[in-house]
Structure 1
Amino acid sequence: MMVRIRSWILTIAALIGAFCILVFGASLVFGLKPQIVVSGSMEPTIPTGSLLMAKEVSAAQIEVGDIVTVQRPGDAGLVTHRVTSIEQRYKDWEMTMRGDANAADDPQPYTVRVVGKIVATIPGAGYVAGVFRTPFGMTGVIVFGLAVLTAFLWNPARRAAAEGSDGTAAVAHTASAVRGKRR
């Protein structure tokens, strides 16, 4: 039973670690920025809780129909919606956007020079990534890490084999150590 639990804990840890390495590696190699979807405005195309990978590009490279992330006016956070129209205004671009689940375009166009073009979506992975951003989540990560360490280091089968099935090896070893000290 403990062997099976130990195996599951190590497997889960390995999968989470591999996922983190892939996301981090893709971010470095391809210049992508991970983002977490916190609303349903792009459903069903992009479900809430998805992890997005955005590539920073010039607004001149964007076409109607692309899904992009831009800064809301007044530093009110980011918005990820589909571009419904785009016009050049001197060095800036004015984009009108709409969430796929919304009936109308966003109230005001966004004036931008650079946007985050969405190149990959990983449904559900944003929930996992979001956990790492909270004190409760970090506590869970630490507890899980300790469980992995314990599962890796604690091996009752090895201890039982070293002692013998009835504990005689440990008793015989102790008796010979005591005899060696008397001489």
Structure 2
Amino acid sequence: MKKVLKVISNLITGILIAGLLTYIAVMRFFPEQLKERLGYQTFVILTDSMEPTIPVDSLVVVRNLGDEEEIKENEIISFRVDRLGDDVIFTHYFKKKEIDETGKERYYTIAENAERYDDYVTYREDILGTYQFHIPYAGKLVRFLQSPFALLELGLICIFLIIYHILWNKFDNEEKLLVEIAETGNVIDSGLDKAPPETESVCVIPKEEPSSSIMEAEETAAVDATAEEAEELCAKPEMVNGQPEISGKVLFGYRMAPSSGAFESGSAGFSLTVDVDGTMRYEAYAGGKGREAVRDSRLSGRSLKKLKKIMKDSQLVIRNLPETLDNGFSIGRGSFFIFRGRMVTAWNIRHNNLKKMKAKDYTYYKKYKKNMKHENDVLELFKKIRNVLREEGIKINLDSAEIKAGK
């Protein structure tokens, strides 16, 4: 159905553009031939002399007057007037005709609600035709199309329409991709009541800090770790990248942990997971002690429904996220996200203002531009989820989590 609507939309757009171009060309270059061929003419009403019968800016359609055709009294006619040397078209009522001192028939015309006849002398050869009907305010469009800038403006409109159809095709392709995902279950299953496939954990080995000025200015609350320490950390199955065990039914999960050991406060981070059935688990970790606190609870049906909708609406965003976000850091605060079974690892993730970063440190911007966009996508998704959890009395951010008593 949408494909049919798209074809119809393209057809109508093409006809309108072709019609406008044809009208402009014919009216500009072949006005007399058009008048003779059709037997009708159009004029734009520029004054209020015929209001309220014919409003200002109306487009009047006039039928050409035959050689022997008689004009009836009070019939509206369009006629040519010499006004201070300019050839002007008037559209007024015809009242009567008389033989003047030259021996020719003079036609007397009058405006709407006027008390006396027009001062202009009008003869038979000045009359262009009789009024048939008018289209209110269509004269504005005609005047625009007859202006010198019409072709330029129409060209801009065509460019806009081309861009519109390019974007339409892009969104159409994205919609097809969503359908494909829903049908094949690829990456993210659109049926949120089913468990997603398990995702393998990714261990990130610290790498050398970039020399960018922004990296040098960054402060972290974490204890520094060497590559050897990170390898040792990755060797521990219960704390691979500091991540807890991941259930195949996890709808959303977040784990915050240091790159090695513990933060200066002694904390080794926390984790919060929400399964597709609403089961929620919060775990806190202490350096060298493992799990320090565990709390299980259940999300309300309304909040669970909201989370599922967020995941469903964000399928394309989640699908395009890499497993590891590389912003030049590999130590500090580790953030491990699970969005509908897909894990994303990040170090010292933050919201990025790309425009300001480009001006401040172009080298960093050029190298990590794509990653900064991914970080913004992750944080925007995390924010939506956080707002839903807040309704349940759960306050979570990148550094901490606070759960209301009784949850």
TM-score grouping bracket, smaller chain normalisation = 0.5 to 0.7
- Is residue 49 of structure 2 the alignment partner of residue 63 of structure 1? no
Deviation string for 1:3-27 (max 9, x for gaps)?
A: xxx9xx97995896698699x9x97
- Is residue 61 of structure 2 the alignment partner of residue 53 of structure 1? yes
1:97 to 79, 84, 109: 109
User: Is the Cα contact below 8 Å between 1:67 and 1:82 reproduced in 2?
Assistant: yes
- Is residue 119 of structure 2 the alignment partner of residue 118 of structure 1? no
Per the alignment, residue 179 of structure 1 pairs with none
Give the C-alpha shift of residue 136 in structure 1: 3.8
Give the C-alpha shift of residue 138 in structure 1: 3.5
**Which protein has the bigger helix share?**
1
The answer for unaligned runs of 5 or more in structure 2 is: 1-5, 27-33, 181-315, 322-407
Per the alignment, residue 393 of structure 2 pairs with none
- Is residue 170 of structure 2 the alignment partner of residue 156 of structure 1? yes
The answer for unaligned runs of 5 or more in structure 1 is: 1-5, 169-183
Tell me the SS of whatever aligns to 2:153: helix
Give the C-alpha shift of residue 87 in structure 1: 3.4
Counterpart residue identity of residue 149, structure 1: I
2:153 to 116, 128, 140: 140
Give the C-alpha shift of residue 127 in structure 1: 0.8
Select the structure with the greater relative contact order (CA < 8 A; seq sep ≥ 6). Answer: 1
**Greater CA radius of gyration, 1 or 2?**
2
- Is residue 50 of structure 2 the alignment partner of residue 32 of structure 1? no
User: Is the Cα contact below 8 Å between 1:64 and 1:86 reproduced in 2?
Assistant: no
CA root-mean-square deviation: 3.9
Deviation string for 1:62-93 (max 9, x for gaps)?
A: 11101111111355311111111123679953
Per the alignment, residue 175 of structure 1 pairs with none
- Is residue 94 of structure 2 the alignment partner of residue 83 of structure 1? yes
Deviation string for 1:76-128 (max 9, x for gaps)?
A: 31111111112367995321101104332111331123531111111111111
Aligned partners of 2:36, 2:96: CA distance in 1, in Å?
31
Tell me the SS of whatever aligns to 1:61: coil
User: Is the Cα contact below 8 Å between 1:95 and 1:111 reproduced in 2?
Assistant: yes
Counterpart residue identity of residue 131, structure 1: F
Tell me the SS of whatever aligns to 1:77: strand
- 1:42–1:137 distance in 2 versus 1, CA, 3 Å: same
Aligned partners of 1:67, 1:102: CA distance in 2, in Å?
14
What TM-score, normalized by structure 1, do the two folds share?
Answer: 0.67
- 1:29–1:135 distance in 2 versus 1, CA, 3 Å: closer
Tell me the SS of whatever aligns to 1:115: strand
Give the C-alpha shift of residue 153 in structure 1: 3.4
Aligned partners of 1:68, 1:39: CA distance in 2, in Å?
15
User: Is the Cα contact below 8 Å between 1:68 and 1:80 reproduced in 2?
Assistant: yes
Aligned partners of 1:61, 1:159: CA distance in 2, in Å?
64
